[in-house]
Chains A and B, each alone.
Chain A
Amino acid sequence: MADYLLPDVGEGLTEAEIVGWHVAVGDTVTVNQVLLEIETAKSIVELPSPYAGTVEELLVEVGQTVTVGTPIIRIDDPNAPAVEAPPRPEDVAAEGPETLVGYGPRETVSRRRRSGAASGSVLAPGHRPPVAPPAPAARPLASPPVRLRARELGIDLNQVRPSRADGVISMADLTAAPAATAPEMPPLKDREYREPVKGVRRMMAQAMVESAYSAPHVTLTVEIDTTHSVDLVRKLRQDPRYAGIHFTSLLLMARACILALRDHPELNARWDGEAITFRRYVNLGIAAATPRGLIVPNLKDAADLSGPELARAIQQLTETARDGRAQPADQAGGTFTITNIGVLKVDSGTPIINPGESAILAVGAIRRKPWVITTKDGSEAIAIRDVVTFSLSVDHRFIDGAIASKFLAQIAAYSEDPSGLGL
């Protein structure tokens, strides 16, 4: 006994209409005898019998539209394989009516199973075979990419309930499935996420809190015409003594600070509540933004260096820091700090003093601005000049506004006329 399943006579057709039967129950048919005509979306096709024997039952009616894979006629073929036990539900799921691809090579095997199923049920002529969603398959149905994703997520496909009618697990079904192990990365669509604070960030936070809540800060700013400094920088870039150095105005300011600290040692000192410790050396800190966060390495004994030595040392210091190779010793023992906020296109701010120090200078962006100048004949005019802003924060516990202002004025003077810097 064998059932003929509606074949896909086109390429990827899913259903066909029964146009007419050429045989009736009780007829004897031979292999390839025309049994019926069907009409698909593409054509009218005669279907030849795969079996020889007596027609037992016509399982579909004329006019009915039938899904590919549905049994349409039962033939008592003595040579057909013996009827096996009814198939388990998973077989139906795996080889159900909507399977369009791949049933060809398995046909011999699967037909027997389905034949068994059909013989166990009573299908009246014209009865529409059930196309209900299949039960979950014991061997889960899923495409290779879905299987791979499931494996990556540690999901057991046996635990996944397919949402598709054909029982095939989709990528979307995986998201609802329980994972064996939590994925390491946070899901992309979280509206918030936490990042543990460690390393450089943690150090920075501790230093800033210690400084801001122990030393009362006061910040002064000054805006000055730095055109001559800019001209000097251009000149020194051509100077053979500074060959191989990317000379910037920051170097001028470092030199200016070192000279000004001689006259205002309070800004190079330290307050510990009992006494003020003055230093006869300058360990000049340069704040550097690195991929890991803000660090402030300092240049030891910066006051002892000549102009070219200072330039080379600062360049080396900042490069080492940006490469993430600054050592803890490089960051310890600083006495005064410069932070170059100009590279961030910012003019001024209220910098927080590095712990263990008493002052910090923020150098702003140099901008072309209208400026009132005094011409040679003593009259005033408006000219376009290079203008920069300095912001100086000091520890107000022992540095008053007068001292800070004098220091800032001296820096400003060097910036306006850098001839005295000895570079």
Chain B
Amino acid sequence: MSDLIQLLTTDGVRVEDPDVAFAPDAALLAEHGDEAGVLRAMLRDMTLVRRFDNEATALQRHGELGLWPPSLGQEAAQIGAGRALAAHDFVFPSYREHGVAWCRGVELVDLLGLFRGSDHVGWDPAEKGYAPASIVIGAHALHAVGYALGVLHDGAVGTGDAARDTAVLACFGDGATSQGDVNEAMVFAASYNVPVVFFVQNNHWAISEPLTRQTRIPLVQRASGFGFPGYRVDGNDVLATYAVVQRALEHARSGQGPVLVEAVTYRMGAHTTTDDPTRYRTDDELEVWRRRDPIDRLAKHLRATGAADDAWFAALEAEVEAFGTDVRTRCHAMPEPSALASFDETYVEITPTLAAQRAEVEALLALDETAEVAR
């Protein structure tokens, strides 16, 4: 289907969809009391992630990070998908999924280590169910399908046991759909009917290449070519994204195979801090999407329905500001990495060649140490 699924308009009004409804799962309801509580929690998620993302962009300008890929504008897509995941599901992210990382319990400041050059990953992927960021565009779609095949072989699909049935979420952008790896991953996923959800955040720009050059048809239609279902959802609508991804994950967990979800959103910021989007897109286009802001529309809805009052928003604002300061402080305090970390963190069992090189580097470091002492 190519129709855009939407459950919350840009004015913050709830609407019905014939196929999909917003129904938070039991765990979310239990944690936040009721549906309004879940919506407040999602707004808080999105606001904290945006504050973090803005702080990270600023930290790059301060000279504290080598590079930063902003997620500004894509918060609803990422929180919607992230909150739909079960604890035992597994995510293969690109480098821009800060909101999904947050939902997996990754400390956001730990995302900075890679971009500061002080860490390779920053979290335990197995513990969080969240793989290291893939900088290579689309390469991790294959990893996701491989992991999902493993899930299939483990028999953790279609048992009807919610604590056992597992889905894999592969997150990438519209640019990645032009990559061979992503297309191969989709062929393989269909061949073996693995429990994977391909979650495409269509943010309209592959660095400076517009979506119109990437595809002649809505990306969601590609799913039928590979032979599995696809959903096209308003990626700036956190309710709709949650509902669609929830359904897609359930489809995968129940053993019905892969699903493609195209979340239509917009990258409000630059591709990375190295990029200048004013060179290839217009202010008019940006303004259109500013009016579709994912945080504004949910805030409007919560105010209009009385689910959140001024005091709640004031408290959120204070929390968010303190959060930004905390990220900055902890970023400054990140320790310098050991030059030996590359050897120690690449393979489980180090190869003989690398072991020899490690010893060589260790000797060089000792040499430096000696020079330091001699001074």
Contact = CB atoms under 8 A, between A and B. Distances in A.
A108 B328 CA distance: 12
Interface stretch (A3-11, A172-180, A279-287): A3-11
Interface stretch (A97-105, A125-133, A385-393): A97-105
A43 B276 contact: yes
B343 to A, nearest CB: 14
Interface string A204-221: 000000000000000000
A9 B334 CA distance: 20
Interface stretch (A137-145, A262-270, A375-383): A137-145
Contacts of B364: 144, 147-148
A139 B61 contact: no
A8 B328 contact: no
A105 B334 contact: yes
Contacts of B372: 139
Contacts of B361: 144
Given A139-B371, A151-B367, A7 B117 contact: no
B272 to A, nearest CB: 8
Contacts, number: 79
B273 A108 contact: no
A107 B371 CA distance: 23
A9 B273 contact: yes
A5 B337 CA distance: 23
B245 interface: no
Interface centre among B61, B117, B274, B371 (most CB of A within 10 A): B61
A47 B61 CA distance: 6
A104 B116 contact: yes
A105 B118 contact: yes
B66 interface: yes
A48 interface: yes
Given A144-B364, A148-B364, A107 B64 contact: yes
A31 B328 CA distance: 10
B283 to A, nearest CB: 14
Interface in A1-33: 4-5, 7-11, 31-32
Contacts of A105: 116-118, 334, 336-337
A308 interface: no
Given A42-B274, A140-B371, A104 B66 contact: yes
B4 interface: no
A45 interface: yes
B153 interface: no
B7 to A, nearest CB: 34
Interface in B328-358: 328, 332-334, 336-337
Nearest to B279: A43
Interface string A306-327: 0000000000000000000000
Contacts of B328: 31
Given A9-B274, A43-B275, A144-B361, A32 B58 contact: yes
B60 interface: yes
A191 interface: no
Contacts of B375: 138-139
A107 B63 contact: yes
A181 to B, nearest CB: 17
Interface in A148-184: 148, 151, 157-158
22 contacts: A4-B62, A7-B61, A7-B62, A8-B66, A11-B67, A31-B325, A32-B54, A32-B55, A42-B275, A42-B276, A43-B279, A104-B65, A104-B116, A104-B117, A105-B117, A105-B334, A105-B337, A107-B63, A108-B332, A140-B371, A147-B368, A151-B367
Given A11-B66, A105-B116, 20 more contacts: A4-B62, A7-B63, A31-B325, A32-B54, A43-B278, A45-B61, A45-B276, A47-B61, A48-B61, A48-B62, A50-B64, A103-B63, A104-B65, A104-B66, A104-B117, A105-B118, A105-B336, A107-B63, A147-B367, A151-B367
Closest 7 interchain pairs by CB?
Answer: A43-B276, A7-B63, A50-B62, A48-B58, A10-B274, A32-B58, A138-B375
